[in-house]
Amino acid sequence: MPVTFITGAAGFIGFHLARRLLERGDPVVGLDNLNPYYDVSLKEARLQQLQAYPHFSFYRADLEDPQSVAHIFETHHPDVVVNLAAQAGVRYSLQNPFAYVNSNLVGFLNVLEGCRHHPVRHLVYASSSSVYGANTKIPFSVSDSVDHPVSLYAATKKANELMAHAYSHLYCIPSTGLRFFTVYGPWGRPDMALFLFTRAILEERPIDVFNYGRMQRDFTYIDDIVEGIVRVIERPPAARTSSAPGAGSTAPHRVYNIGNHQPVELLRLIEILERCLGKPAIKNLLPMQPGDVLATYADVEDLVRDTGFCPSTPIEVGVARFVEWYRSFYAVS
């Protein structure tokens, strides 16, 4: 049975992907350091669910520790690696830049070295819509230039794509980068807007609404993200051959957007959330924050063409599911 190694297995996306694979009977090896960037008890609760499956193995370790990563490759010889571990958050990168270099660059290098010395069928890794940075052309296409990041977090994700391509080219590692667009849903991250807003509204506290609520985000429901990852896993890229001038890379490497391709204004999200919670929000309208972008909007044509899948969960449905989970998990009415 093919083994999948998931880094960041106790994280939001990693947990959902691991559970999906475990439910269909796949062996999964997970790594996570359970760092305190956000509530560790939430990560532990996710992990507890995964550990109920007999074919789940877990290592609590730092991705930037080369010995720990090498040990997993040597012990389990994974067929597929999905790198989801990263120091997340655009605004936090302004406060603690070294965390991003250690996790997102050094950690990813350790994964690439593992794939180099223990060849895998497919390396899938998380990139981000943040790589589009200051781009004003929408929707964002994978063919667009992404040379102008506006946060260190975005720069590390762009660097991941370049590093993966180099290893793909040098060592023929089939690899696919996934640019995720504002993922939300049950078991989500407490530092994300939907989680922060829900908690504050229920506690009747003001919510900070940046750019006066006029930002747009391509909110993508977690089940759509996981379905996209699962479909991509089964389609490792092949090396291309071309002698045409300017034909581009021949490495077995590619990049996809995974987004709902339907941007939603922040004020609209708040309206939907107010309806689901049955309570009004107290809005603290603020100007744009450094590192933020006005809008994100995914062109998913390549993903649809190659996998036959198009994310499509309506924001109203996804927010309602999140609120239902939140009320249940935190036992609030």
Q: Residue type for 317, please?
A: V
How remote is the C-alpha of 49 from its chain's centroid?
A: 20
> What angle in degrees, to the nearest 10, is found between the helix axes of 193-202 and 266-277?
40
Query: Which residue of the set 38, 59, 125, 153 is catalytic?
Result: 153
- Pick the closest to residue 317 from 281, 282, 275 (CA basis): 275
Helix (H/G/I), strand (E/B), else coil: 14: helix
Contacts of 233 (CB under 8 A, 6+ apart): 4, 80, 82, 122, 124
Longest Cα pair distance anywhere in the chain, in angstroms?
64
Given CA atoms 165, 33, 225, 55 in this order, what sign does their dihedral have?
positive
As given in the structure block, the two tokens for residue 34 are: 């359970």
What is the spatial distance between Cα 241 and Cα 289, in angstroms, rounded to a whole number?
A: 45
Mark whether 184 is an active-site residue.
no
Q: How far is CA 260 from CA 172, 208, 304, in A?
A: 31, 24, 12
Q: Are 238 and 29 in contact (CB under 8 A)?
A: no
Contacts of 83 (CB under 8 A, 6+ apart): 7, 8, 108, 111, 123, 124, 125, 126
Q: Are 258 and 228 in contact (CB under 8 A)?
A: yes
- Positions annotated as catalytic residues are 153
